[in-house]
Amino acid sequence: MGITITGTGSYIPKEITSNKDFENHDFYNEDGSSFAHQNDIIIEKFKAITGISERRYAQEKYSTSDIASFAAQKAIDYAKIDQETLDYIIVAHNYGDVKYGSNQSDTVPSLASRVKSNLQIKNPSCIAYDLIFGCPGWLEAMIQANAFIKAGIAKRCLVIGAETLSRVTDPHDRDSMIYSDGAGATIIEHTEHTKGIISHATATHAIEEANYIYFGNSNNLEDQNPRKYIKMNGRKIYNFALTNVPKAMKSCLEDSGYDIKDLKKILIHQANEKMDEAIVKRFYGLYDMQAPKDIMPMTINTLGNSSVATVPTLYDLIVNNNMEGHSINKGDLIMFASVGAGMNINAMVYKA
């Protein structure tokens, strides 16, 4: 018996923006200076480092809470449950509902309340709240839902990660090519048939690390718009992740009581292909092992980085047989892991 994912769903926008669509952008360094290279060279180097060739953007008519609701409905349908029996709806995001063309984020009411309204759930005992925890938000929401169920104050929870990062990116910052939109959702509840969540670990590093990802001005110094955009110190994040994420993964695995050889898949936040590969390589290096082939499925090449949505979306694609060469079967031991703004890190060992 255990606390198990019984339903899964995702919303992947249909609008594809390829790297070529950035060829006419005017990119600047953080100090406002121009790059030494032309855009085709910038884009080529970007692709080599991040692995991203295209990303998805939500339709103009949809907000973050809308796409969160689409993913949630799929998870509910997958689980074949009465949505009125949900005890909690937890929505992980970072920027609220940013309507297309708007300069302002909208977080009142909460996105979770909007999802509950969109789903037309009448039960007042179904508690809806938001979680802002950087890119590891969905996984941290899973950890919270797990705690509620273990404590006996909930039986069934809906956990969602959703973001429309395309609406908070600076068009003059080459990092804008990283970000995308999407939503993933899971139903978790106590079942008698599988072990489900085995162990988890979370850490927050918030001295100088707190400002590695932040909201800042446009790199175009002539832009007088007071609007703020998502910004990051990529090199510091890369070094931080390589130092700290493998340790958290190791701690989580040791708490589970399983051996690293038991792991069938690692579903890691789709942040940067080279960084993710380096994290997993270093994780296995802690055991003096090489990472097995195909241990880490990747979606970043075509879906980009949709923050809190990357891991649940990846999981949904695999369990629905929509990722060639990857599967999760009953009894498989998998690990979820993420790193992001805060700086926050978390990991979870899960037995399907």
pTM of the model: 0.94
Read off the pLDDT band of 223 (50, 70, 90). Answer: confident
Summarised one tens digit per residue, pLDDT across range 137-163 is 999 999 999 999 999 999 999 999 999
Read off the pLDDT band of 249 (50, 70, 90). Answer: very high
d(CA 43, CA 23): 8
CB atoms within 10 A of CB 223: 16
pLDDT surpassing 90 at residue 32: no
Average of per-residue pLDDT across 311-322: 97
Bridge-based pairing of strands 229-232 and 213-216 is antiparallel
- H or E element, residue 249: helix 234-256
Q: Which amino acid is at 337?
A: A
Are the CB atoms for 130 and 68 separated by under 8 Å?
Answer: no
Q: Which fold has domain 2-194?
A: Peroxisomal Thiolase; Chain A, domain 1 (3.40.47)
Distances (CA, A) of 41 to 37, 54, 175, 301, 302: 6, 16, 14, 18, 20
Of the listed ranges 67-76, 80-89, 92-101, 307-316, the one predicted with least confidence: 92-101
Instruction: Report the pLDDT value the prediction gives residue 122, as an integer from 0 to 100.
Output: 97
pLDDT surpassing 90 at residue 38: no
- H or E element, residue 201: strand 196-204
Are the CB atoms for 120 and 82 separated by under 8 Å?
Answer: no
- Range(s) within the chain of domains with CATH label 3.40.47.10: 2-194, 198-351
CATH number of 198-351: 3.40.47.10
Classify residue 304 as left (phi > 0), alpha (psi -120 to 50) or beta: left
Are the CB atoms for 166 and 147 separated by under 8 Å?
Answer: no
In the predicted model, what is the mean pLDDT of the chain? Answer: 94
